[in-house]
Structure formats: C-alpha cells, structure tokens
Structure 1
C-alpha cells in the first residue's frame, strides 16, 4: 500500500518507515502537513499515518483538510501516552485508529492491515493457481483459463488482472496498481496503465455479454465488476416460438 507518514521527529519517522517497508508497504515521509496536502493534490495515498502534532498543525485540524483532498482516506494517529479523553477527541475528529508512540512493530502492522481490510483494499495472494469463478489463473505459466480456452498474459498483465480479480467490485487506485504491478516506478506513464487495462479487457473477454465490466474511474483507477447476463424474456421466447410455428 502507498502510505503517507507525517512525523516531525526524524528518528521516529525512520523507525516507522522501516517498519512499513518490512510490512510490504511504500512509505512517503513528510515532516509537516502542508507538504503532504500539496502532494495529495496530485498523488493518491491509501493511508495516512500522522503524529498527533503534524509539525505545523494539530492532527484534529489536519484530518478535515486531508479528507477534502482525498475523501475517505483512512487515518491512523500516533500519540504519546494519551489519556482517554485525548483518544476520544482524536477519534471524534475523524481518526480511524490511534497508536501509542513509540510504535510496536507487530501490533502496528496488524492494525494497519485490519484498517485496510475494512477500507476494502486487498492484495493478490501468492499462490501459483487462483480461481475466480470461471477464471483460473496459473501464475507459474502466466496462463488464464476460462470458457474452454487458455490465454497467455505478460507478467505485468497477469499481476494487473490478479489485482483486479482479487478486488472484485472494489475500486483500485492507480497508486496501488503502480505499486503492485510496476514496483512504484516513477517513469510509468498513465497511458501505459490504460493500455494494459485495455489488453486485459480484450484478452479475458471482460464484457457485459460474458458477465463482466472493467471500468476506468476518472482520476482514481479501475474497478472490475461481475454483472448478471441479460437473458431474453420468457414472454419474448414464447412469442418467438409462436412466430416460428406460424412460419412453418
């Protein structure tokens, strides 16, 4: 996940950054809230971890400003020996969770994973073979089998498709796609991502007539949905049969 960290204390910021990296997350550190809010105008983040004091403002004041830029962004606040009244005030201000400083590794990662699950963000698993309805992903051979056919995908297409199927009916941000598929490379153009999405849609036949739609979400990312296949109305069938009889 792409996680933003607002932490004025550089020593603690290094500890948290290493912890998040060890947990498989990408951490972007900011020493104050203003640079983060400016960055969030152009870069999407999956989670914000912030100190109770953001270097230039209190977290209670920063959370509403952040949510105006990134609506629904989950926020974890780090607090030093907080009293119950301070925890209540922070949660009422919009924080999704609070952690004591200095952070404890396993607990911090577990809480972040739990929060991301509640937010509906999932990662593809690392099994060699995955089944999603009629689609069978063979990661070892980069082959997807469905409706009696085998389709070969490139490694990037396979990772992208697995990410979409793992998050069926959930929006997946471009930042999360780039982190998972392109390992956070900064030189990947938006057109490259869109081209891969188009190829996946074509190769895997993700079309309404087959019960799937792969839709771009403007300014955000993509979402794969499974939809019911429309069948001819029974009355229409009956009328069609009558016309056939009359013709015969």
Structure 2
C-alpha cells in the first residue's frame, strides 16, 4: 500500500519511514501539508499519517482538504505528549486514529494494518486507478497507460512495476520485491526477478530517452529514477 507521511521532524520521519517499509508498504514523505495536497491531486494514497502540526497548517485543517481530493482517505494523527483535548479535536476533525510520538513500531504497524483492512472493506470491487508520475495503473485489467498508449502486463509484472513507481528514486531490495510480487517466495531464482525487471523496462519504456532509468543495484535490488529529458544548453 502507498502511505503518505506529513512530518516536519526529519529524524522522526526517517523512523516512521523505516517502520512502514518494514511493514511491506511504500512511504512518501512530505515536510509540509501543501506538498502532499499538490501530489495527492495527481497520485493515489491508501493512508495518510500526519503530524498534529504539519509545518503550514494543523492536522484538523489538513484532514478535510485531503479528503476533498481523496474521498474516504484513512488518517492517523501523530502527537507529542497528546492531551485528551487534542485527541478529541483530531477525532472530531475526522481522524481515524491518533498516536503518541515517538511511535512504537509494532503498535503503529498494527494500527496501520487495521485501518487499511477497514478501508479495503469499504473500497469498491472495481478498484480505482493508481496514477504515478504520468503512468496510470489499472489493477482490474493489469494494464498501464502512458503517453497515449496502454500496455498489458502479467499480474507479477504489474505488481513489480507498481512497486517500483511507488518507490520512485528509492532503492527496492530483492527481499522486498519477493515479498510483494511473489508473496514471500524466497526460493524464486534471481534470474526470474531479473527477467521480470527486463520485461517491465521494455514494456513501459523505462529508458533515459523517455525520462526514466531502471537500474539493477548489485547485491541489493533495483531502483527506478526519473530523469530530465531536456537538452543541455551549453553556455558561451
């Protein structure tokens, strides 16, 4: 699942990001709410975790704005030594849950999973599209649309591609790929992962001339990067 985190405290954001990643989810970090709201207009998130104060507005103000863009978005609010009045205010504003900072790993992941399960029960059977960086992922057809074309993928290729885009510009380990694409298939041969990466690269045209580069990371996994396609203008 794709989780958005609004957290001005970079140290705590790093901790939460590690926990989310360990829980098998992708985490996109934002330091202020305006950055998140801009991104949410183009991309889908399954859950929002936000600080009580996001750097530019309170969580009570962020929640309705977020849900005006992503209706039904589950929200967890993080608070420093929260008082009862703060928790009540957040819940009245629409928060689904509140957590004290610094978060405790097992508790946070359990609450995240519980919220995602409840959200999945409310989600329509015809799942929405995920749109990430110009690529539209249709999970009902295992198809990806980009640059006025639509490409069909196998289920594993689809999950692999979506995992890479959800972690754009971040390394994705083979263990994480196996966990998400092959459902804990630790005995999957390394060449099978490499073959799927090659097919995804070819089918989705993940090449520098089209603005993307999918590279193997020796001894670790893969990383998908967005690249500038603008020509270099020499001065002089």
TM-score class, shorter: 0.5 to 0.7
Residues in 2 aligned to 1:14 and 1:60: alpha-carbon distance in whole angstroms: 23
1:40 to partner: Cα distance: 0.5
Q: Using a 3 Å threshold, how does the CA distance of structure 1 residues 91 and 185 change in structure 2: closer, same or farther?
A: same
Q: Does the Cα contact within 8 Å between 2:43 and 2:130 map onto a contact in 1?
A: no
Q: Does the Cα contact within 8 Å between 1:91 and 1:97 map onto a contact in 2?
A: yes
Residues in 2 aligned to 1:121 and 1:13: alpha-carbon distance in whole angstroms: 29
Residues in 1 aligned to 2:70 and 2:33: alpha-carbon distance in whole angstroms: 14
Is structure 2 residue 140 aligned with structure 1 residue 184? no
Q: Using a 3 Å threshold, how does the CA distance of structure 1 residues 121 and 55 change in structure 2: closer, same or farther?
A: farther
User: Residue 97 of structure 2 aligns with which residue?
Assistant: 97
* Alignment equivalent of 1:169, drawn from 101, 112, 125: 125
Q: Using a 3 Å threshold, how does the CA distance of structure 1 residues 90 and 72 change in structure 2: closer, same or farther?
A: same
Q: Does the Cα contact within 8 Å between 1:19 and 1:105 map onto a contact in 2?
A: yes
1:181 to partner: Cα distance: 4.1
CA RMSD of aligned residues (A): 2.8
1:168 to partner: Cα distance: 8.6
1:106 aligns to what SS in structure 2?
Answer: helix
Is structure 2 residue 12 aligned with structure 1 residue 12? yes
The within-5 A match list for 1:1-248 is: 1-120=1-120, 169=125, 171-174=127-130, 177=139, 180-186=159-165
Residues in 2 aligned to 1:169 and 1:83: alpha-carbon distance in whole angstroms: 39
Show structure 2 runs of 5+ residues with no match.
Answer: 132-136, 145-157, 169-199, 205-236
Q: TM-score, normalised by structure 2?
A: 0.56
Q: Does the Cα contact within 8 Å between 1:8 and 1:31 map onto a contact in 2?
A: yes
Residues in 2 aligned to 1:173 and 1:108: alpha-carbon distance in whole angstroms: 27
1:183 to partner: Cα distance: 4.4
Show structure 1 runs of 5+ residues with no match.
Answer: 123-166, 193-248
2:15 aligns to what SS in structure 1?
Answer: helix
Q: For the pair shown, which has the larger CA radius of gyration, 1 or 2? A: 1
Residues in 1 aligned to 2:129 and 2:2: alpha-carbon distance in whole angstroms: 10
Q: Does the Cα contact within 8 Å between 1:5 and 1:49 map onto a contact in 2?
A: yes
1:120 to partner: Cα distance: 1.3
Residues in 2 aligned to 1:33 and 1:73: alpha-carbon distance in whole angstroms: 15
Residues in 1 aligned to 2:99 and 2:119: alpha-carbon distance in whole angstroms: 18
Residues in 2 aligned to 1:168 and 1:37: alpha-carbon distance in whole angstroms: 23
Q: TM-score, normalised by structure 1?
A: 0.54
Q: Using a 3 Å threshold, how does the CA distance of structure 1 residues 168 and 51 change in structure 2: closer, same or farther?
A: closer
Q: Does the Cα contact within 8 Å between 1:120 and 1:170 map onto a contact in 2?
A: no
Residues in 2 aligned to 1:168 and 1:29: alpha-carbon distance in whole angstroms: 27
Residues in 2 aligned to 1:168 and 1:79: alpha-carbon distance in whole angstroms: 32
